[in-house]
Structure 1
Amino acid sequence: MTAALDRVNPVVRLLAALAFAVILVISVDVVSAGTALLLGAVLLTIAGVRPRALGIRIVPLLLAAPLAALTIALYGAPSGAVLAEWGFVHVTAGSLALAAATFLRILAIGVCGVGLLAGIDATRLADGLAQVLHLPSRFVLGALAAFRLFGLLGEDWRALALARRARGVADRGRLRRFAGQAFALLVLSVRRGGVLATAMEARGFGGPGGRTWARPSVLGLPDLVLVVVTAGVLGVAIAAAVALGTWNPGGVAGV
């Protein structure tokens, strides 16, 4: 997605995104989530991530975050001053604080995670998982092959639709046509997976002994820079929350 992040090992980018998710889940408070969101967005922009492209990728989050916040504001644990009450709905100062923290936390995790992971080359990630994290090569290569074939599902679906329409199969009834076509796609996917497994086994994938890799995956200065920046952003977010007294692991912030 960007030249700056492309120089970073995909494994480091994955671990950095996981670090944001883990740290921001520990405490539900506005300060840490807001600080991480602001600093993360600024640094991703400096790294070359285009705000428009990032905004398009996080459209589902922009829809889900307000809905989650609204649900918590109406049905969250009541605490503090009661602002509105009707049946099962209890809007209190505590529920509003929790809703705001949840809203910012979802956006912070999503923006930082999508910004770091978008554009990762699947082959480079597989090389890193096997060589840097030393995951089993059978698992890594199988996952890579499945990921590569996943993009063919859309093409297979369109081809099946055209073929069935040409034969006049299931011209009526959308549910019946969808069910039949979905089953046909499942059968096609299973057959293709079997052929791929046979081909990979014939070429020595998953065989005994050590394995060599055509593309070495190493760590360098860009990886260290990303680790330091991620630690700095999360450290500043935690320090700001602690300084303002909102850091409350496992609790409701601001209550």
Structure 2
Amino acid sequence: MSLMTPEIRPSAIARVNPVAKLAVALLISCALMLSIDWVSAAVALALEAVLLAWCGLSARQFWLRTAPVWIAAPFAVLTTVLYGQDSGAVLLSAGFVSVTEGSVALALAIGLRILAIGIPGIVLLATTDPTDLGDGLAQVLRLPARFVLGALAGLRLVGMFIDDWHSLALARRARGVGDGGGLRGRGRRFGGLAFALLVLSVRRGSKLATAMEARGFGSDIPRTWARESVFGLRDSLVVVIGAVIAATAITAAVLAGTWHFVLA
């Protein structure tokens, strides 16, 4: 099962080697984690937003897939504003809660950083086929075939968990199991479904491991691959673009005087 759905249009990003996408995500993430300031995160987020037009995601798919990031960022901002390290002028003080200029600036930096790191990672993953990712990891990065194939098999089963969850819920409802109302009833129903899904996943994983072993997937003999993974000029250009975004964000923060190396 592909991570890409029929609603995702073929795009230039979708045709890029997954190793290049992984390198871009790591470059931007590492650059933004070197300092906690709002300028570098804002610049990176603005440059990423310009490139989202080529990702191939519809507006609906984009908002649905990135919804966890948009939900997490405001909560992180609010928590940091209320309980972050105090510095500068006090803007609000109520008991053990105090809001200062420093905590507001820190909250803004953290919120923008979550968006700048999370959104491109989700978008790049959504436009990546698991098989292409496995081919790239094994052929371009030369990772062990046993690790790559095992991870690929597990990744392909992730989509089945949702179908299994719905099937188990319908089966339990048809049998009248876990129909109790209230918070306690919903908790028992969730616990029962989670345990049933765990048992089903363990059984399926055991069968899959046996089947893969029988077909020689655990052999130490060098493998051949059905599809060649090529890291070409286009992929190198994508990595360069990621490096430019990271370098531009750092440069802007240094010039603005907001750069603070976290390890210093």
Fold conserved (TM > 0.5)?
A: yes
User: What is the CA-CA distance between 1:99 and the residue it aligns to?
Assistant: 1.1
**8 Å CA contact 1:28, 1:251 repeated in 2:** no
Question: Deviations 1:189-239 (Å, cap 9, x if unpaired)?
Answer: 211111111111111111121111111111011111101111111111111
Question: Deviations 1:127-158 (Å, cap 9, x if unpaired)?
Answer: 11111111111111111111112222222223
The residue that corresponds to 1:242 in the other structure is: 254
The residue that corresponds to 2:227 in the other structure is: 215
Trace 1:123-142 onto structure 2 (pairs within 5 A): 123-142=131-150
Structure 2: tracts of 5 or more residues without a match: 1-7
Match status 1:107 vs 2:115: yes
Matching residue within 21, 42, 48 for 2:29: 21
Trace 1:1-255 onto structure 2 (pairs within 5 A): 1=8, 2-46=10-54, 50-172=58-180, 173-250=185-262
Identify the range of structure 1 (184-193 vs 8-17) with the bigger mean alpha-carbon deviation. Answer: 184-193
Instruction: Give the Cα separation in 2 of the matches to 1:150 and 1:115.
Output: 18
Question: Deviations 1:174-195 (Å, cap 9, x if unpaired)?
Answer: 4434333332222222111111
1:250–1:242 distance in 2 versus 1, CA, 3 Å: same
1:176–1:7 distance in 2 versus 1, CA, 3 Å: closer
1:250–1:8 distance in 2 versus 1, CA, 3 Å: same
1:84–1:179 distance in 2 versus 1, CA, 3 Å: closer
Identify the range of structure 1 (224-233 vs 167-176) with the bigger mean alpha-carbon deviation. Answer: 167-176
Provide the TM-score with structure 2 as the length reference.
0.88
**8 Å CA contact 1:74, 1:95 repeated in 2:** yes
Structure 1: tracts of 5 or more residues without a match: none
RMSD after superposition: 2.1
1:210–1:46 distance in 2 versus 1, CA, 3 Å: closer
Instruction: Give the Cα separation in 2 of the matches to 1:242 and 1:235.
Output: 11
Provide the TM-score with structure 1 as the length reference.
0.90
**8 Å CA contact 2:31, 2:246 repeated in 1:** yes
1:157–1:214 distance in 2 versus 1, CA, 3 Å: same
Instruction: Give the Cα separation in 1 of the matches to 2:234 and 2:114.
Output: 27
Question: Deviations 1:226-253 (Å, cap 9, x if unpaired)?
Answer: 011111111111111111111111189x
Instruction: Give the Cα separation in 2 of the matches to 1:46 and 1:183.
Output: 41
Identify the range of structure 1 (153-162 vs 140-149) with the bigger mean alpha-carbon deviation. Answer: 153-162
Alignment length (residue pairs): 252
